[in-house]
A and B are shown apart, each in its own frame.
Chain A
């Protein structure tokens, strides 16, 4: 922690110097004209190069206000410093790159190394990646930077079923091939994985993100069985990008010190994602996930063995011109529809449907003075039903905030 603060301090010192001498930092101009895909997200970020060194810096910040009412009760207005993320990248050689992403969430409540990996390009179709990587399950986990989105809250299913941002230590391969209007990519990694927290947590349900609370997951696997993540995606310049991904492994500690404790219990997540831009204007992005968890039969049915969910974002640029003196500014209207079911199944006792689900609709507007900066206002309405299917708890309210790369 102390080291991170020290690094941040040093970084800010450079920034302060840069304010005096702007030539110290220069914005890196992207030369790559190939079709961009979600697999490229980690490097498709604005960076500032530090002098003539091979080191580049970047990051983003996001903050917002929040006013929510739940069944007529409100905690009032709050201001939230959601994230401060710092990127540091370096070209070690022409075909060896390093990038790290350190994130401060909710002030300093959570400090995470979300990405810190070395890429070695053996061939454009065969890159070796090792370090702390983001498991490519769905698209949001790969492409989660706040300034890229018109919505203040991250998608429910992408954070509570797929536990974005979900990164682990591991190694793997990735590659991309682009020709004319087509591009295809793949990723395959073995990493440390989940642990028993997913059914041993205070959420009272199978809660996959609970594994993020394991402080040792960057040090060792909880059970010695690697988590496998595979993704392939194809993109057509006009049709859009379709991705299919799977992440699976054993989550429980089935053996300790040579003593068998339990059978191996698996967790598997399948995701499909798609994004496109219709007539070069309306942007549509969607991701759906299905999770399967082997929960012991003698445990409570409150902990489901199947989950599913997804979201659909539609963003329509109403104005794209000089606005308030900002050239090429964009004013968007947007809407998100989302759903997550944390317990797909029926009660043993009654045969009735187990609910434990949430639906949300989030209309919003956003203003982008520059592509890297978004000022956004959302109205959120969601209704959450408990596992018994009692009347839903309804929550609605307003959020206003910004997010910007720097």
Chain B
């Protein structure tokens, strides 16, 4: 009897070992297809770059700040990943508020905690509030996907699409937002300055020059984390001087900031789903016919980059990174840099169809997440986009569906 059981057990273990791989594949969760996710590195990174990408990934998605490690005391979020779940767009829960600037002359509330509202605080502290009379706007966290591609475009490439006076009379007058670069910014050969300012390309108003600028600001203004790039805690209203907490500064190392910047630079571009589907192709044609592509530029090619693997890559972000008049409906009365209050940087459309996977199953689109569907987002366009919006409204239900299906495929 014992022998029989031993024999059966041995046979069972043998069969188990032989079928282990197939068995494991069948009863463990499989990786989603590459076109279903926004995270992951670009192809062609060197081993050293891969290591830095992983270190940046760990800091971005794994490092959570709390009071004992320097969080706040005034903050918006506790980690990078809190606002950019799975590297996608944010959720109204993580929307941040900026205030204090209503024209191109600058922010007049800097001594009252502007530009960013720290609406949360660690226990024992009272969060910041918007001062009476200050204009404000809410900003929905964008997806991180493909940021390195956008950063690699030269200023000359972007400026070639500028038409501030609408010289070609097409109704589209994109222009760059020139902003003051931070002290630590080191201009590259492809950056062009104008009156000491540089072309901004990140942020809703294109107020950040590059990913380092964006990242350092996010650590400081979103989480209240000091770094060697930004050594002071964020100022808040009611306090003349920045509050110093009991955690030694800098609260995050320069290496960590650099790793996170590299992580953002090396994130892959979203992969379009069903690009050859008949409706998707028809929707793409409608997108071009309605001249949506005048601002949402479909294609770019990288001429030079800090990441060798990106050089020569052609990609499809559907943005020109320029400011456009979006009409009074989207004018919140707040602005940054030389942008006007009704001007917004064209957001990239790639990854749009995966937004629901990072926004909790719904859509929260436009700069502040006010649109809860792609169609609503289109219908809220105004200003330079007004003719395109009207043409969209005149489409048949079927054609609207095709256009939206195309956008969902991005």
**Which A positions have Cβ atoms within 8 angstroms of B?**
67, 69-74, 196, 199-204, 252, 261-262, 265, 296, 298-302, 323-325, 347-350, 352, 355, 379, 381, 386-391, 394-398
Are the C-beta atoms of B120 and A394 separated by less than 8 Å?
no
CA distance A201 to B125 in the complex (A): 17
Are the C-beta atoms of A202 and B69 separated by less than 8 Å?
yes
B121 to chain A, nearest CB (A): 5
Q: Please, what's the 1-or-0 string for B337-352, where 1 marks a CB less than 8 Å from any CB in chain A? A: 0000000000000000
Given contacts A299-B120, A347-B92, contact A200 B31 (CB under 8 A): no
Given contacts A302-B82, A394-B29, contact A324 B93 (CB under 8 A): no
Interface size class of B (residues with CB under 8 A): 35 or more
Are the C-beta atoms of B66 and A261 separated by less than 8 Å?
no
Q: Please, what's the 1-or-0 string for B77-118, where 1 marks a CB less than 8 Å from any CB in chain A? A: 111001001100001110100000000000000000000000
Are the C-beta atoms of A389 and B123 separated by less than 8 Å?
no
* Residues in B neighbouring A300, C-beta threshold 8 A: 75, 77-78, 120
B359 interface residue per 8 A CB criterion: yes
CA distance A396 to B26 in the complex (A): 11
CA distance A301 to B124 in the complex (A): 16
Are the C-beta atoms of A324 and B82 separated by less than 8 Å?
no
Interface of A, helix, strand, loop or mixed by DSSP = loop
* Residues in A neighbouring B189, C-beta threshold 8 A: none
20 further A-B pairs in the complex, CB-CB below 8 A; given A71-B29, A74-B28, A200-B68: A67-B24, A70-B29, A72-B28, A72-B29, A199-B123, A200-B66, A200-B67, A200-B123, A202-B63, A261-B124, A298-B121, A299-B120, A350-B92, A352-B362, A388-B91, A390-B85, A390-B360, A390-B361, A394-B29, A397-B28
B41 to chain A, nearest CB (A): 14
A208 to chain B, nearest CB (A): 15
CA distance A200 to B91 in the complex (A): 23
* Residues in A neighbouring B358, C-beta threshold 8 A: 388, 390
- Looking at B123, B124, B359, B361, which has the most chain A CB atoms within 10 Å of its CB? B123
A402 to chain B, nearest CB (A): 16
Residue from the list B31, B69, B121, B127 in contact with A71, Cβ < 8 A: B31
B27 interface residue per 8 A CB criterion: yes
Residue from the list B31, B82, B360 in contact with A352, Cβ < 8 A: B360
CA distance A390 to B6 in the complex (A): 47
Are the C-beta atoms of B66 and A262 separated by less than 8 Å?
no
B251 to chain A, nearest CB (A): 14
Given contacts A300-B78, A349-B93, A349-B95, contact A72 B68 (CB under 8 A): no
Residue of A nearest to B69 (CB): A202
Residue of B nearest to A351 (CB): B92
Given contacts A69-B28, A200-B67, A390-B86, contact A298 B78 (CB under 8 A): no
Chain A to chain B: the 7 pairs with minimum beta-carbon distance, closest first: A72-B31, A394-B29, A388-B360, A69-B28, A349-B92, A389-B360, A204-B64
CA distance A355 to B64 in the complex (A): 19
Residue from the list A73, A204, A298, A389 in contact with B120, Cβ < 8 A: A298
- Looking at B63, B127, B358, B360, which has the most chain A CB atoms within 10 Å of its CB? B360
* Residues in B neighbouring A349, C-beta threshold 8 A: 91-93, 95
- Looking at A265, A299, A350, which has the most chain B CB atoms within 10 Å of its CB? A299
Residue from the list A199, A252, A350, A394 in contact with B93, Cβ < 8 A: A350
B30 interface residue per 8 A CB criterion: yes
Q: Please, what's the 1-or-0 string for B1-36, where 1 marks a CB less than 8 Å from any CB in chain A? A: 010011000000000000000001001111110000
* Residues in B neighbouring A200, C-beta threshold 8 A: 66-68, 122-123
* Residues in A neighbouring B122, C-beta threshold 8 A: 200, 299
B126 interface residue per 8 A CB criterion: yes
Residue of B nearest to A67 (CB): B24
* Residues in B neighbouring A324, C-beta threshold 8 A: 2, 5-6
Residue of A nearest to B90 (CB): A388
* Residues in B neighbouring A299, C-beta threshold 8 A: 120-123
CA distance A198 to B24 in the complex (A): 37
* Residues in A neighbouring B291, C-beta threshold 8 A: none
* Residues in B neighbouring A67, C-beta threshold 8 A: 24
Residue of A nearest to B88 (CB): A390
* Residues in A neighbouring B180, C-beta threshold 8 A: none
Are the C-beta atoms of A262 and B124 separated by less than 8 Å?
yes
* Residues in B neighbouring A301, C-beta threshold 8 A: 93
- Looking at B86, B124, B362, which has the most chain A CB atoms within 10 Å of its CB? B124
CA distance A238 to B186 in the complex (A): 78
Residue of A nearest to B9 (CB): A324
* Residues in B neighbouring A355, C-beta threshold 8 A: 360
* Residues in B neighbouring A69, C-beta threshold 8 A: 24, 28-29
B357 interface residue per 8 A CB criterion: yes
